[in-house]
Amino acid sequence: MKRLFAAAAFLAAFAAPASAQSSAALVAASAADVPPSIVVTILVPKQEMRVVVDGVEQYVWPVSTGRDGVAITPAGTFKVQSMHVITYSRLFNNAPMPYSIFYDGHYAIHGTMAIHMLGRTASMGCTRLHPDNAKILFEMVKARGPQSLRVVVVREDRFVSSTSLVR
């Protein structure tokens, strides 16, 4: 009888972690299959950003993307690589980049002080927003988690980034 209880206790002790591990793996796998709840579409020809949340368009904002003939904002579909409340460009004279959401190497969506340039090309490849709009987007993504956002950049010439999720 003691052996039976000992065997049951042994099995119970080792079976629980295995089932916990398998259910954790199922949760992780199902989280990876969940479509993003926020989709940002950057329309380079129109110099605008459309923000769709849970399938409903919430915002349309003017942006500035890569300057004509100087810099390209690459097309493609991207996920968030990192987020920073404030960072400074090491490539361009420590320019402030408030509410940055990096999605393709050094390309990011971020606020700008050059709000008079919104609606026309002006950047070195990033997508610039009014700081108030950048904060709205940043806080929304922060609240839902970086996995909740997909960034879609649409160009007429179809220059597609090598790191795009969809090529």
Q: Spell out the domain ranges in the chain.
A: 1-34, 38-154
Residue 165: predicted pLDDT: 55
pLDDT at 27 over 50: no
pLDDT at 33 over 80: no
pLDDT at 7 over 50: no
Rounded mean pLDDT, 36-64: 97
Instruction: Name the least confident of 5-14, 26-35, 46-55.
Output: 5-14
pLDDT digits (tens, 9 = 90+) for 62-118: 999 999 888 899 999 999 999 999 999 888 888 999 999 999 999 999 999 999 999
Residue 19: predicted pLDDT: 40
Which residues fall within 8 angstroms of residue 144, CB to CB, at 6 or more apart?
Answer: 37, 38
Residue 2: predicted pLDDT: 47
**Of 106, 101, 117, 116, residue with least CA distance to 40:** 101
Q: What is the Cα–Cα distance from 26 to 90, expressed in whole angstroms?
A: 41
CATH architecture for residues 38-154:
Beta Barrel (2.40)
State the number of CA atoms in the 13 A half-sphere of 164 facing the CB.
Answer: 16
Written as six digits, the tokens of 11 are 């099995």
Q: What is the Cα–Cα distance from 27 to 58, expressed in whole angstroms?
A: 29
pLDDT band at residue 160 under the 50/70/90 scheme: low
